[in-house]
Amino acid sequence: MFSGKAKPVFVSYPNEADGWSNGVYYERKRTVSEALESDFLPGEPFKTRMWTETENTGFGIYAYVEGPAFKFATGVKDVKFTLDVSNPTSEELKISCLANDILKINGEVLSPLQKNALLTFELCSVEEETLLQVFVPTDKKAKEDAPELRLIVNDISFEYLPAKAPKDKPTLFLASDSTVQSYDKFHYPQAGWGQVFYRFFNDGNLTEEQMSPDLMYPQNHIYETPHCNIENRSIGARSSRSFINEGKWDRLLARTAPGDFAFIQWGHNDATAVRPNRYVAPADFAWWLKKYIRSCRARQVVPVLVTPIARRNCDGREGGVFVASFGKYADVMIALGKEENVPVIDLCNLSVAYLNEIGPEESKLIYLWAAPGAYPDSAYANGVSDNTHLQEYGATIYAGLVAKAIKESDNPEFDPIRGFINTEFEIEKPKLCMDPVVPDSTTPQNFAMQELHVENNIASFLLIFNDVKDAVKYRVYRKGSVDFQFFPLREVTAEEKANSPVLPFTIPGSDVYEIYVVAVFADGSEGAKSRSIEFRA
């Protein structure tokens, strides 16, 4: 049938999503059944159906495609697909294509009755088999509302891309989240350790800094040094799962060559069960990481697993002791490193040890803490106390821990870059820019909003704040632009807060809101208000 040796299959989602259970969302399960080649004759139309479901918190968004699909035995290689498609209708038709759930063609328009349109894309496969789903996208939100739409696939073929030669100097690619990401000047002093990693190579000076030429997202930065380059493709709010599903790992692999390195740090967002599209249970973490390892080795790229950095979690703990924040994920990485013979940098335990050495107060220099007015031209002009993200000094400290681990490792895979690393210089310590006012002990501290998202006139967002001693629940208040007073938005029990430190909320859109949170005690009394957050939904 098809020149690319396609195996025709049917993809369907016959059952409803299982939904939320024990704090985890379970989406629809895909069924893939075999089909006969005679069911998909070239030049004959077939029907597909597509819809997008959003679970009730507004954070889990799932696009489902039912209909014919095609499997190809590509192997874990770089390939170029060519689709020959036609529009059997008398109206414009949009064509999209998923390759192993990565959107590679997005709404390509075919004119009425257009025949034999050739669409191409490249894929850095991470699987032995590649599943292609060609479909007509729609904006329908429920399966029962999604129409079956016709299109014609005349042929699908693929060819292997030419083998790449090693570069003049290796590139160290960084794939991670906001703790590694590069930031612009407006967010100073916030920084990820990938932003300052170059300081530990050669004399610590840059030959050049530029954005990645593929311009996939503005956080991509390349730091050129005399003997190697560092390409930081880390981006906030991503996990081992979403970085692959969004096509970001595919685009990173497209820029690699034999002899390069890929430093892979996940765990922070994998652990966020309230964000279903990125949550990965510890039991499933190795399955996702193996995709990274397998796809690196197939391209002669050295994979390096980096365990997630600790959070500043000493407050309220006896003796101000720090502990591993994502220990289960770090344990998986360490075990997998031994199993797959992959280098592991245990930044989780290295950062915990460092924090316990310097203590709770000095740790505020590591994380994103600053007094109001300390950085008047920054996004944090009003002050910030963030126990997850780093400021530049802390990012530099943690980048130094990674560099030192490479330097001192006896793993021969680091030999090509070990000699470029320089950790023999002093990192200048900044002054502690903190508000000296001691807050009321009943006030929820570090109240912050994350990831505001508006769809269908409903705003969904996450709130974080510190626990208050003896609180039995917390009450979030909101006031809209036409309200004369604050009204409760919703309550969170102390148990719910303990099980999920990042909490999901929804609110009607198209308004400006002010919100704050208070602790509620056993006698029904409320503690002091947190700081207020104003935002447009």
What is the mean predicted confidence (pLDDT) over 47-59? 91
Q: Is it the case that residue 436 has pLDDT exceeding 50?
A: no
- Assess contact for 427 and 384: CB atoms under 8 A: no
Q: Say which residue the tokens 């005349």 belong to.
A: 154
Residue 248's Cα: distance from chain center in Å?
A: 9
Neighbours of 448 (CB within 10 A): 17
- Residue scoring higher pLDDT (274 or 95): 95
| pLDDT classification of 1: cutoffs 50, 70, 90 | very low
Taking residues 412-429, report their average pLDDT: 92
Q: Residue 105: pLDDT band by 50, 70, 90 thresholds? A: very high
Confidence grade of residue 2 (pLDDT, cut at 50, 70, 90): low
Mean pLDDT for all residues in the chain: 92
Residue 324 — very low, low, confident or very high, per pLDDT cuts 50/70/90? very high
Kindly give the interhelix angle for 347-358 and 392-408, rounded to the nearest 10 degrees: 120
- Residue 347 phi/psi, 5° resolution? -65, -25
| pLDDT value of position 439 | 63
Query: Are 8 and 40 contacting, i.e. CB atoms less than 8 angstroms apart?
Result: yes
Q: Terminal CA-to-CA distance of the chain, rounded, Å? A: 51
Rounded Cα distance between 457 and 509, Å, is: 5
**pLDDT at 41 > cutoff 80:** no
Structure token digits, residue 45: 């139309």
* pLDDT recorded at residue 206: 76
| Domains contained in the chain, CATH given | 7-160 (2.60.120), 171-418 (3.40.50.1110), 448-536 (2.60.40.10)
Cα–Cα separations (whole angstroms), residue 201 to 224, 399, 429: 10, 11, 20
What pLDDT was estimated at residue 449? 86
Q: Give the percent of the chain with pLDDT over 90.
A: 70
Section 61-68 average pLDDT = 95
In the 8-state DSSP scheme, what is residue 139? -
Q: What's the pLDDT at 431?
A: 74
Instruction: Decide if pLDDT at 215 tops 90.
Output: no
At 38 the pLDDT is 65
pLDDT for position 3: 60
More confident: 404 or 372 = 404
| C-alpha 320: how far from chain center | 30
Write the CA distances from 175 to 258, 291, 342, integer angstroms: 17, 13, 16
pLDDT at 437: 46
Residue pLDDT, tens place only, 106-157: 999 999 999 999 999 999 999 999 999 999 999 999 999 999 999 999 999 9
Q: Is residue 448 predicted with pLDDT exceeding 90?
A: no
- Mean pLDDT computed over 397-415: 97
In whole angstroms, what is the distance from residue 170 CA to residue 203 CA?
17
Q: What is the pLDDT of residues 76-102, one digit of tens each?
A: 999 999 999 999 999 999 999 999 999
Portion of the chain with pLDDT greater than 70, in percent: 97
